[in-house]
A and B are shown apart, each in its own frame.
Chain A
């Protein structure tokens, strides 16, 4: 009987572990490798060594689009390409389904950081992997690719980037 209880407990705990979220602080960020607007495949793992903000958005998402000027401000502030110290990167992942709409918004808001998309809307495997339920959604990664922040915005995001860059 005792053995049966132990087996049952192990079964339950295995299921709990299996269901545990992958997208939380301290976990390694799952890989993303998708085409850019020019068709080049760009991977998240290639950004290792930089603090990375993975920004999930779409041109059809009004709150995401409203946030783009704020992101540009952060990008200009922390991605010091002029000093050759590009320690901060934004990895934009669009859940768009129509390339022209995606491209038009990227141009309109002068988004000059990495942009990728599989143009699969909500059926994108990346949306499933990152357990996204609504946009905008983001994760902040340290220089080793570990998640250090989930869905940070405004001053909280700025402070978190600054703190990670200082490490």
Chain B
């Protein structure tokens, strides 16, 4: 009986730690939904390319042609984003970006990306900004507003 209790305890601990690890890794986006900055810059620079809807959910709309919603951590801005998305075709490519900090410290991208997913946008992308918008967009000389 004592052995069974010990096995049960061990099993529970394994389940708990697996659950915690899964929670740590869960992000609203998948790796394939991350768009490299070079890819977006090429789309903007190509006059023949079909342009995605580029939405800033960070401190400033730096990227050329992007629309400013403001930091995604603020509820009012999420409402603004929701209103903007309600007028769009769900099959249009939409690219969200912030760039205030690396992803693990960014307070804006998760609420905004969760909303876009919830609204059923089939081609939702998050701009892959590993460090910040200065290093990954302004410094390489990509197009700015």
Contacts and interface: CB of A to CB of B under 8 A. Distances in A.
Interface of A: 58, 60-63, 96-98, 101, 121-123, 127, 133-135
Given A122-B133, A133-B135, A62 B100 contact: yes
B59 A134 contact: no
7 contacts: A60-B100, A121-B60, A122-B132, A122-B138, A127-B134, A134-B134, A134-B135
A96 B58 CA distance: 11
A60 B135 contact: no
Nearest to A127: B134
B108 to A, nearest CB: 8
Contacts of A135: 101, 132
Contacts of A127: 134
A96 B131 contact: no
Tell me the interface secondary structure of chain B in the complex. loop
Contacts of A62: 100-101, 105-107
Contacts of B62: 121-122
Interface residues of B, number: 16
Contacts of A63: 101, 105
Given A134-B131, A134-B132, A60 B138 contact: no
A60 B105 contact: no
B101 A97 contact: no
B4 to A, nearest CB: 47
Given A63-B101, A63-B105, A58 B59 contact: yes
Given A62-B100, A62-B106, A133 B59 contact: no
Interface string B102-145: 00011100000000000000000000000111110010000000
